[in-house]
Amino acid sequence: MSSKIYRYCAILAISLFMLPAFAFGQPDFAKAKQSKEKHVQALFGIDGVVAAGVSVDQNGAAIVKVFTNKANLQNVPVVLDGVNVEYVLSGDFVALNKPPQDKNKNKLGNVVAQRPGNGNGGGGGGGGGVSPTDRFARPVPIGVSLGSTGPIFCFAGTLGCRLKATSSGGVVQYILSNNHVVANENQGTTGSDGMLQPGTLDNNCVLDPADVIGVLSDFEPILFNGQPNLVDAGIAITDTLDTGFATPDGEAYGTPTANVQTATVGMRVVKYGRTTDFTYGKVDSVNVSVNVGYDSGTALFVNQIVIQGTRPNGRGSSTFSAGGDSGSLIVELADNDPVGLLFAGNSSFTIANPIGAVLDTFSGNGTTFTVDDGN
């Protein structure tokens, strides 16, 4: 090869290397996001639309993805500002706590009692087939059954993780879960309501003071007036004697890191939760606006993550979450970096708050919240 041709090939190779990613056909998420934000109100005006976000089609191109509870929508756009629109029959999305079938058991005073022993089978945090609904020896692992002594107490959700609040005054540990798990959809009393492990639904709806592992400290109110929500989250003060920082010994993914990752379409994730245990999934959509059903009404959430369950190898579909998994921490598969806080879904899809937004909600005034990795 002549030196002239060689130099030309070298310059061409360097030029190609320096081209931006979209020159090689990477999806234009910025354009899709802009289109979705511009038209989201009009999309929600279509009867049957329950959510809209940004995803990719089967060819890898960025799209606006619309989730519906009706199979046949009328007069729907298929292109918005040059961005294709894809519709999927998802069904409605609801908060994923687990109330009892007998609603009367939620009445305070109906089943309040002391109980001996270790409740639902003990478990003590070892491997060998433990259940997240067990009563665990203290400090309890993360990803297990959690409840509250609040006014509607007979239910169960999931203890997402332990948080570390760092300030000039030192370090304080907290439990992280959802508002609707630890604060009963805005009804909780901070400084008073106890956090129970297991949640009373997993103890025949019996309140036992020995099950208290923390006290409600703060929660972000859920707005039911049509105004947008960013997170469904609440925290309870705890300590290292009562609450651990990893999933049960030998179970699931182990310890989350303190390194927050932003969800991206296609990212592979896992979670460990009270009902469906250890599951695998992938991020289906981001920047999602979604209406979520609660006992108190419907709440609009924006900038959310939609996850679809997969098999462990990442292929095919599988269940990612169910009622009772609310509050689970979702982490990136490869590195255990926190990605989201699970709070809603249905049999096909799961909705999560970006974990960065959750931590930012409680940080401020000289205090910074991070996921506690035990260090």
Q: Are 121 and 370 in contact (CB under 8 A)?
A: no
Other beta carbons within 10 angstroms of residue 316's beta carbon come to 9
Residue 9's pLDDT is what? 42
| Residue whose C-alpha is closest to residue 142's, from 375, 373, 315 | 373
**Domain boundary pick from 203, 226, 249:** 249
**Structure tokens of 128?**
């060998």
Domain that holds residue 81: 26-91
Q: Are residues 324 and 347 in the same domain?
A: yes
Phi, psi dihedral angles at 21 (to 5 degrees): -60, -35
Strands (E), 185-232: 194-196, 212-219
Residue 126's pLDDT is what? 37
**Domain boundary pick from 48, 75, 91:** 91
Q: Are residues 240 and 101 in the same domain?
A: yes
Residue 27's pLDDT is what? 82
Q: Are residues 102 and 158 in the same domain?
A: yes
Instruction: Note the pLDDT tens digit of each residue in 226-262.
Output: 999 999 999 999 999 999 999 999 999 999 999 999 9
Distances (CA, A) of 308 to 49, 208, 304: 18, 37, 14
**Domain boundary pick from 189, 215, 249:** 249
Q: Are residues 36 and 150 in the same domain?
A: no
- 281: β partners: 269, 309
- Residue 6 domain-assigned? no
Residue 105's pLDDT is what? 61
| Residue whose C-alpha is closest to residue 200's, from 343, 323, 100 | 100
Assign residue 339 the CATH number of its domain.
2.40.10.10
CA dihedral 237, 238, 244, 247 (to 10 degrees): -40
Q: Kindly give the parts of the chain with pLDDT less than 70.
A: 1-26, 100-128, 153
**Structure tokens of 341?**
């806080």
Q: Are residues 226 and 274 in the same domain?
A: no
Q: Are residues 263 and 355 in the same domain?
A: yes
Q: Are 224 and 299 in contact (CB under 8 A)?
A: yes
Residue 151's pLDDT is what? 76
Q: pTM score, two decimals?
A: 0.88
Q: Are residues 282 and 220 in the same domain?
A: no
Q: Are residues 230 and 293 in the same domain?
A: no
Q: Are 164 and 363 in contact (CB under 8 A)?
A: no
- 353: β partners: 341
Q: Quick one: which H or E segment has residue 342?
A: strand 338-345
Q: Are residues 105 and 174 in the same domain?
A: yes
Q: Are residues 118 and 105 in the same domain?
A: yes
Q: Are residues 105 and 240 in the same domain?
A: yes
Q: How many structural domains are present in the chain? A: 3
Alpha-carbon span 212 to 163, nearest angstrom: 17
Alpha-carbon span 155 to 147, nearest angstrom: 6
